[in-house]
A = this chain, B = another copy of it.
């Protein structure tokens, strides 16, 4: 089966692009292609909950680094098991920006376990992402926020090449600009089709 890892920083809109793409119907066909989407963070939370490590969602962040890595690996094994029987989209982050800096979303042991067939980077301009993150909806541009988003996008692209090198999977950049969600969803839809068609039938 096919496993696609989709990443986007907060405000890039990766979850929305996935949802829209899954809603698209193949022209002239009634059923859509069969892909299930899971959010890596959700699976981590559920895994921590099942193991009695947290009482609520915020609990995950307060776990020690060691415990977080343990949960990350267990969640990874759960996702890996799911992907044996279905085409899977894993919605996650390429790098996570933390007080300690840029943390890899898919460190080597996670990559070795997941064996992704494809990476997708959902991107937008720094200006668009900064505006989407602003809650007060003021229209003033924030140069510092934009420069920090550009740096993060740089690190994500560089990290995606390390992921590609270790897995052999390709990295597709899909731009999700304001007012063009349908174009981004279409591009992702075409990619899903291409990947599921190239898959040998069981």
Assuming the A-B contacts A64-B198, A158-B157, A200-B64, are A69 and B168 also in contact, with contact meaning beta carbons closer than 8 angstroms in the complex? yes
A179 CB–B CB distance under 8 Å: no
Assuming the A-B contacts A65-B198, A191-B100, A195-B100, are A108 and B165 also in contact, with contact meaning beta carbons closer than 8 angstroms in the complex? yes
User: Which of A14-22, A26-34, A85-93, A169-177 lies at the interface with chain B?
Assistant: A169-177
The answer to whether B64 touches A98, judged by C-beta atoms less than 8 angstroms apart, is no
A82 CB–B CB distance under 8 Å: no
A99 CB–B CB distance under 8 Å: yes
* A172 to B103 alpha-carbon distance, docked (Å): 9
A181 CB–B CB distance under 8 Å: no
A189 CB–B CB distance under 8 Å: no
* A159 to B162 alpha-carbon distance, docked (Å): 7
Nearest-neighbor residue (CB-CB) of A109 within chain B: B168
Within A31-89, the residues touching B (CB, 8 Å) are 64-66, 69
A194 CB–B CB distance under 8 Å: yes
The answer to whether A101 touches B158, judged by C-beta atoms less than 8 angstroms apart, is no
The answer to whether B200 touches A171, judged by C-beta atoms less than 8 angstroms apart, is no
A107 CB–B CB distance under 8 Å: yes
The answer to whether A159 touches B159, judged by C-beta atoms less than 8 angstroms apart, is no
Chain B positions within 8 Å of A143 at CB level: none
Chain B positions within 8 Å of A108 at CB level: 165-168
* A118 to B167 alpha-carbon distance, docked (Å): 22
Chain B positions within 8 Å of A195 at CB level: 100
The answer to whether B165 touches A159, judged by C-beta atoms less than 8 angstroms apart, is yes
The answer to whether B164 touches A103, judged by C-beta atoms less than 8 angstroms apart, is yes
User: Can you report 13 A-B residue pairs in the complex whose CB atoms are below 8 A from each other?
Assistant: A95-B164, A98-B170, A101-B118, A103-B164, A104-B164, A104-B168, A106-B165, A151-B173, A155-B161, A158-B161, A161-B161, A162-B162, A163-B165
